[in-house]
Amino acid sequence: MSEKLAKHSVISRNRDKKALRPGFTTGACAAAAARAAAKTLLSGEELKEITITLPIGQEATFAVVRTEWQDDSVICTVIKDAGDDPDCTHGAEICAQVRVLPEAGIQLEGGEGVARVTKPGLGLEVGGPAINPVPRKNIIEMVQLELDALARGNNSIGADVIISVPAGRELAKQTISERLGLIDGISILGTRGTVKPFSTSAYASSVRQTIEVATVNGTHDFVLTTGGRTEKFGIDYYPSLTKESFVQAGDFVGVGLRSAARYHARRVMIVGMIGKIAKLADGAMMTHVSGPAVNFVMLADLAAQFGADETLCAEIRTANTARHVFEMVEEAGLPGFYDALCEKVVDAAAAYGRHAFPVECLLIDFQGQLLGSARQPTFTALTA
């Protein structure tokens, strides 16, 4: 992807399966709409487009499709382009209303169509808007840039920003939002700002091909990670391995395990966070949200083995998310729980890989710190 991503508007989906077109997250669109509204309000000039810096550090330019003045505020709209990702929010109108405040600071709120958080376990304040931390930070930074440009060093002004998605309530019916306690709309998401098109067959093929090519070039140790943060941790944890060893398997750890067996891997390491690790521990080797749900009964039974009383076990059985379980375990303090969860992953992964190689599993938290680990007795450690 180029350093500056191309300006976009909603266009027809790419029918060429060999070249799936990337798109943008709701978070990036909200940041663009918010910066456009702030710039319009402060300059008095309507914009046809706005450029922002995405969370990954790249620039992207968005078309501003609607501008509306309301008393002392401005509303700007960006249309979400999800590229070739099968996302129900493709084409949705993402709006931001900005009003200047006489004191420094930016207040961010959720308006129509942005979900309200009603359950714990999502890393968001219960009762607040479902605007995730990374897009929240991105929105605030983009608005602050416009305030700084006007203030020229005088930090005496702030802004009130309201993000809304007019079709959000209807779109939410196509998601699992309500099951997670997200009511009356969709979440504003995105840790990168860009969306990689999701194609089950294409992603699975890329995992297989990565392992095949690495094997042909002499790599026999593989680290299957579930995403960018887990890969970064794995690279730091296994410094003796070359980049060819690291495979972002995502939801397709099972595909990675079978491919590793096919190409006679020497050993396989799995690095993940609580959500996907919990599914793997239960034997679900395809961990996409559309697949099997987290087995909270299994997690409660495991917690009981490490001192959880019946009250806590009952709460775990009815938990909202795996992250919710993590929060309860952290508060209770159950020594050995995370290692035992990793042991379950090791056993399930070894069986799924037809016991062709020894397995190690590492569980990290949301700040990238090691929570637990386990390895088979035949595994030769790569770290001191």
71: in domain? yes
Query: Do 179 and 208 share a domain, yes or no?
Result: no
Query: Do 284 and 251 share a domain, yes or no?
Result: yes
252: in domain? yes
Query: Do 256 and 360 share a domain, yes or no?
Result: yes
Of 180, 195, 210, which residue is a domain's last?
Answer: 195
All residues at 6 or more sequence positions from 289 whose CB lies less than 8 Å from its CB, including other chains = 176
pLDDT at res. 379:
84
Of 166, 195, 224, which residue is a domain's last?
Answer: 195
383: in domain? no
Query: Do 61 and 209 share a domain, yes or no?
Result: no
All residues at 6 or more sequence positions from 176 whose CB lies less than 8 Å from its CB, including other chains = 289
Decide: helix, strand or coil at residue 267.
Answer: strand
Q: Using CA atoms, how far apart are residues 53 and 46, in angstroms rounded to an integer?
A: 20
Query: Do 228 and 183 share a domain, yes or no?
Result: no
Which pTM does this prediction carry? Answer: 0.69
380: in domain? no
Would you tell me the crossing angle of helices 26-43 and 133-151 to the nearest 10 degrees? Answer: 20
33: in domain? yes
289 token code pair: 């949200």
Are 237 and 283 a contacting pair, CB within 8 Å? no
Residue-wise pLDDT tens for the chain (384 aa)?
333 444 443 333 333 445 568 889 999 999 999 999 999 999 999 999 999 999 999 999 999 999 999 989 999 999 999 887 767 889 999 999 999 998 889 999 999 999 999 888 888 899 999 999 999 999 999 999 999 887 665 567 899 999 999 999 999 988 767 867 889 999 999 888 988 766 566 678 778 888 988 898 889 999 999 988 899 999 999 999 998 999 999 889 999 999 999 999 999 999 999 999 999 999 998 877 656 789 999 999 999 999 999 999 999 999 989 999 999 999 999 999 999 999 999 999 999 999 999 999 999 999 899 999 999 988 887 754
Query: Do 182 and 214 share a domain, yes or no?
Result: no
Query: Do 109 and 157 share a domain, yes or no?
Result: yes
Domain tally for the chain? 2
Q: Using CA atoms, how far apart are residues 214 and 263, in angstroms rounded to an integer?
A: 10
pLDDT at res. 293:
84
Tell me the CA end-to-end span of the chain in Å, nearest whole number: 38
Query: Do 161 and 212 share a domain, yes or no?
Result: no
Q: Using CA atoms, how far apart are residues 236 and 231, in angstroms rounded to an integer?
A: 9
Are 341 and 363 a contacting pair, CB within 8 Å? yes
Query: Do 32 and 117 share a domain, yes or no?
Result: yes
323: in domain? yes
384: in domain? no
278 token code pair: 């919990």
109 forms bridges with which residues in the sheet? 162
Decide: helix, strand or coil at residue 205.
Answer: helix
Query: Do 294 and 324 share a domain, yes or no?
Result: yes
pLDDT at res. 198:
60
What is the domain range of residue 67?
A: 4-195
pLDDT at res. 213:
84
Nearest to 326 by CA among 101, 62, 123, 186: 123
103 token code pair: 């004191």
Q: Beta-strand (E) ranges in the chain?
A: 4-8, 23-24, 49-53, 59-63, 66-70, 73-79, 93-101, 105-110, 113-114, 116-117, 158-164, 182-183, 185-186, 194-195, 221-225, 246-248, 267-272, 359-364, 370-375
Query: Do 267 and 296 share a domain, yes or no?
Result: yes
Nearest to 95 by CA among 107, 111, 71: 111
pLDDT at res. 205:
74
381: in domain? no
Of 195, 223, 242, which residue is a domain's last?
Answer: 195
Are 44 and 69 a contacting pair, CB within 8 Å? no
CATH of the domain at 90: 3.30.2110.10
Are 255 and 205 a contacting pair, CB within 8 Å? no
Query: Do 126 and 211 share a domain, yes or no?
Result: no
